[in-house]
Structure 1
Amino acid sequence: MPVPVPAPITYTPVPIVEAKNLSESTFRLKYRSRKPVVIRGIVPSDLWFKQEDIIKKLKTPTVMIAHDNANFIDNDKYVSKRSAEDITVADIAQASSKQRLYLRSIVPEDVKDGLGLPLLQEIANVGSFKDDLMRLWLSSAGCITPLHYDRCHGTLLQLAGTKRFVIFSGDDTRQLYPCDGLNGPTHASRARYIGRHLDTQPSTILQQWPKLRDTDPWLVDLQPGDLLYTPPGFWHEVTSTSVSLSVTVPWDMTAQEIACVPAHMAF
């Protein structure tokens, strides 16, 4: 008898909406804590970022170097860190084939002022963002933030270059090979390189991570100006598909949302 062919991984494109067409009520009813969405038109169309100018404004930036030259987790088991006062965009870009670099920094105030955050606050009905967790990220091509989830509402604004996100609902947690605290932090997964093969060679993923066959991921390739919303507890893997400049803008869950978190997010 012929050997049955395993079903491939199927994915859903993340929906894309224009900010001018997205009301607070629509965001709340369709997306908040429910599913990811890309919002376009948050950043003013006449605003363009010169990466070198931004890098020169950074205060106490840190560069992470992954031990495996690919996967970046903020944990000493996986990365080393160094200060980056003299780093340039060219340093990040040229590092890709030798030793990939991932720079992170507090967002300069004048950059923050140009990000269209009041419009995002209005759409999300947020009094204030988590300024202590807002970060600017500059990465070499090929840098990966492995599959993990966050405990807050998260948005990532792509300023330059491109990033690929693969996103899973918390309902898929059992199929996502979560770490147990010994083989990695409990909010992270052991699965790797999903975005690299999801739309071209899904069998490559399933050979190593067969339980992913029973998941329902979303996929999106972010372009400059795109803002991606990811709900709390949703797993996501992020791959810099080029030299990339991004800003993350998170905000806290409400008391009611915290009271209803799924088991995998238990505090």
Structure 2
Amino acid sequence: MSESLNKSQLRQYAYYALLDHFIGRKKGKSLTIKSRKKFYDNLFNDLKRNGEQQLIPIDRRKDLSDAEFKEKYLKRGIPVVFEGAAKEWDCVKKWSFDYFKSLHGTDEIVMADQYKIENPYEKLTLGKLIDEINQGSGKYYRFYPLLKRHPEHLLDFDYEWLRSKKNRFSFLEAFQVFMGGDKTITPMHSANLPNLFTQVVGEKKWVLYHPNDTAIIDPDPVKGIYRSAPFKKKEGPFNPFKPDYSPPYSLFNYTSGYSVHLKPGDVLWNPPYYWHAVENVGMSIGVGYRWCAPLYCYQLAPLYAFLDTMVVNPPIWKSLKFVQKDANLIHLLEGGMLKEYLANQKA
């Protein structure tokens, strides 16, 4: 896949990203308002000359060896699907919404949604959530720390297979379960942790954009370990599943990306810093297996890896701690709601 921005454009956007990170987005934009307008006008014209957007299917590979995966995909930061690699794992054979409700329905959970202005977090039981999903509530529970709470489910995975795909110099690991109904989505975002995502129940569509296309998304400075695409319209960030290329999202019409439709048993390699949006097809359960590989992140995206280790709120060390415990707490901390949530826990 060809990159959308040339080296000169990448350097210029890097200047804006550094400025926004260290003096704040609002002040950074006010100091560079004319040059940014010129930058984006020129970028739009350059991209338009190259033609309209193409979404390229991600490679689907059967019997992909560790050596080839690491050389062709991991080392170069290119996504790939291990097609059907998990189809014989117990998680794919046994799991369902009813299965989780019967085993862990009394688990108290917190659902945090950084995209909601009102009631951005909700405390309930897993059983109640599953009932509401079955009733078509449109809820999507992200980052359920299943294996942290119930480590016996590690036996439902080929753990050694997953670990064999990790970078040499890495630490920390976390399993995070995602549960949602038909057509529920996660808007465009990126993260600095490598991710092997196993599709367990149902199906899921993904659209991904290269980290060098960050200028097109133009996010606010990073918080913790995630970057979120900004709301440039009241409907939300750009939605690649229902694309609207009218301003201010016109650049996406001329930006190439990757697409994939995961089936049960597929495992997706999602490299760090790739922008991606996800839509569930039917009732869906998936599991992300993540780890931390700082040197690898610097090799793939030195600018963003550098910014992530500088002053951020919450600090990256605290975010990584929450990744292992419950990543929903990161979003509460970002929004200044963690103290309120913890106080309600004690009440």
Shorter chain as denominator, the TM-score bin is 0.7 to 0.9
For the residue of structure 2 that corresponds to 1:179, the secondary structure is coil
Q: Which residue of 2 aligns with 1:91?
A: 132
Instruction: In structure 2, give the amino acid aligned to 1:227.
Output: V
Q: Quick one: which of 136, 142, 147 aligns to 2:177? A: 136
Aligned ranges for residues 25-174 of structure 1 at < 5 Å?
Answer: 25-32=67-74, 33-45=76-88, 47=90, 48-51=93-96, 52-58=98-104, 60-62=107-109, 64=111, 72-73=113-114, 79-87=120-128, 89-96=130-137, 99-102=138-141, 104-107=143-146, 108-124=150-166, 130-131=172-173, 133-174=174-215
Percent identical residues: 20
What runs of 5+ residues in structure 2 fail to find an aligned partner? Answer: 1-47, 232-236, 309-347
- The answer to whether the aligner puts 1:229 opposite 2:269 as a matched pair is yes
For the residue of structure 2 that corresponds to 1:41, the secondary structure is coil
Alpha carbons of 1:229 and 1:110: their partners in 2 closer, same or farther (altered >3 Å)? same
Q: State the alpha-carbon separation in 1 of the partners of residues 142 and 295 from structure 2.
A: 33
Residues 198, 286 of structure 2: 8 Å contact kept: yes
Task: Pick the structure with greater CA Rg.
Answer: 2
Q: Quick one: which of 215, 225, 240 aligns to 2:255? A: 215
Residue 259 of structure 1: how far off its partner (Å): 6.2
Q: Which residue of 1 aligns with 2:239?
A: 194
Q: Which residue of 2 aligns with 1:69?
A: none
Instruction: In structure 2, give the amino acid aligned to 1:246.
Output: G
Residues 55, 259 of structure 2: 8 Å contact kept: yes
Residues 121, 128 of structure 1: 8 Å contact kept: no
Residue 207 of structure 1: how far off its partner (Å): 4.8
Q: Which structure has greater helix proportion? A: 2
Residues 164, 195 of structure 1: 8 Å contact kept: no
TM-score, normalization by structure 2: 0.61
Residue 27 of structure 1: how far off its partner (Å): 1.0
TM-score, normalization by structure 1: 0.77
Count of aligned residue pairs for this structure pair: 244
- The answer to whether the aligner puts 1:16 opposite 2:76 as a matched pair is no
Instruction: In structure 2, give the amino acid aligned to 1:37.
Output: V
Instruction: In structure 1, give the amino acid aligned to 2:157.
Output: L
Query: For the aligned residues, what is the CA RMSD?
Result: 3.1
Instruction: In structure 1, give the amino acid aligned to 2:80.
Output: V
Alpha carbons of 1:256 and 1:106: their partners in 2 closer, same or farther (altered >3 Å)? closer
Residues 52, 255 of structure 2: 8 Å contact kept: no
